[in-house]
Amino acid sequence: MRIEKSEAERLRRLPAVHLLLSHPLCKQLADRRGHKLVSSACGDVIAEVRAKILQGDQAVEADLDLLADRVAERVNRQFDLNYRAVINATGVVLHTNLGRAPLAEAAIEAIEATARGYTNLELDLSTGERGSRYQHVERLICDLTGAEAALVVNNNAAAVLLVLTEMAKGKSVIISRGQLVEIGGSFRVSEVMQASGAQLVEVGTTNKTRESDYERAIAEDTALIMRVHTSNFRVVGFTYQPQMSDLVALAHAHNIPVYEDLGSGSLFDLQAHSIGDEPTVRETVQAGVDLCSFSGDKLLGATQAGIIVGKQEYIQRLKKNQLTRALRVDKLTLAALEATLRLYLDDELAKRENPTLWMLLRTPDSMEQEAERLCEGLRTVFSDRAEVAIEPGLSQVGGGSLPTEELPTLRVAVRTDQFSLTRLEQELRHVRLPVMTTMRKEAMHFDVRTIFPREIERVIDSVRDAFARIG
């Protein structure tokens, strides 16, 4: 027969904070997470139990081991990272919300090697004198793009701001109406121009801008002709934009430099692999552009950075601008960027080692094994409660790059009327390793293209965890 203990007795049996603190689990925890947090968690856990006893809760236990477990859970939860890894099963290779480009192993190693201690960031090792952080990658970028000079800043938005401020503050910049783009995160070319103090002169129409439109707009105070890559949209049909080389010839005849914001800017000839129709940065430089800038974490596949290449005299001016100091590139970014760039010394190496290129170039055939592993795994998880099948599909490049390009892919589709897929999608965001999927036409899709082969089992584990939460 169970004897109900009196409330007073149960309260008396509650341990004091110092007793709970001396429990082996709590001692261990204090060594790892700090005495202060553990001691305060002990106090909180005991107070919680006391309150429950006073509310008449008969089930609550004051067992020391149980209390110590609760302390550990509480303290450890405070160290869960809010910003963490997720799995991208959306098939969007450069997913801006998911951090764009995953890094190459060489880049990760370079970050690790430089992060742990000191580096020669602003030290010239050959002379022992003060050096420049910009020198570590400048030669390499010039070799890879054919440009005379280069400068790396925080991101491409910063590059645009810097170029416009240095080249055209208080003067006017001619730009085609078809290129006044807004890209994600409310970056509007027209607003960045305003912020730089440059005066915007719009020419042409949304679909057509001719050489003569540019020519007619050239005035005394024209400091720059700017071209902007229409990253995330395409004007198709009845359209016209001058060839870069023709625009350069026109501008140079009037002694006006030309700047192109390339957006993505690729160092790898994707066109040769039947992806997109964009010139490489080298081709843009060859067309005679005076300055051009592009992102580090789009098609290039490195970390967030803005790379500016062009004529020596203009890059020199940019380097001296005060704004450059505020937009300067971080030491870890430089480490990852240099290592990523070095892989481009050989196309085969870049294709194999750069995850962005590797994913873009994956064919459905090469995804079959992973698709099957994933399909089998998910069938086991859902048993007879959902239909799981492999289907052909189309993935996207993302990151405002090659918006109309569709890449044939394989995806694993889950369909069911036995539980809510919307609910599963939500739970998949709340498990330890979240998986981002897409929902279309009553089906949940896992696009194999953006799931690394090493992640297949983890996807299955996360789906199992999420499904268990639905019950």
Ligand X SMILES: *Cc1c(COP(=O)(O)O)cnc(C)c1O
Using CB under 6 A, list all residues that contact ligand X: 155-157, 160, 183, 187, 228-229, 231, 261, 263, 295, 306, 400
| Least distance in angstroms from the C-beta of 154 to ligand X | 8
Q: Which is nearer to ligand X, 251 or 329 (CB)?
A: 329
| Least distance in angstroms from the C-beta of 319 to ligand X | 19
| Least distance in angstroms from the C-beta of 399 to ligand X | 7
| Least distance in angstroms from the C-beta of 237 to ligand X | 21
| Least distance in angstroms from the C-beta of 159 to ligand X | 8
Q: Which is nearer to ligand X, 15 or 178 (CB)?
A: 178
Q: How far is CA 404 from CA 103, 149, 301, in A?
A: 25, 32, 20
What does the alpha-carbon distance between residue 188 and residue 457 come to, in Å, rounded to a whole number? 41
Q: Which is nearer to ligand X, 10 or 229 (CB)?
A: 229
Q: Which is nearer to ligand X, 185 or 237 (CB)?
A: 185
Q: Which is nearer to ligand X, 119 or 232 (CB)?
A: 232
| Least distance in angstroms from the C-beta of 450 to ligand X | 19
| Least distance in angstroms from the C-beta of 144 to ligand X | 18
Q: Which is nearer to ligand X, 157 or 223 (CB)?
A: 157
What does the alpha-carbon distance between residue 227 and residue 353 come to, in Å, rounded to a whole number? 32
Q: Which is nearer to ligand X, 145 or 409 (CB)?
A: 145
| Least distance in angstroms from the C-beta of 181 to ligand X | 6
Q: Which is nearer to ligand X, 62 or 174 (CB)?
A: 174
| Least distance in angstroms from the C-beta of 63 to ligand X | 54
Position of minimal CB gap to ligand X: 263
Q: Which is nearer to ligand X, 204 or 306 (CB)?
A: 306
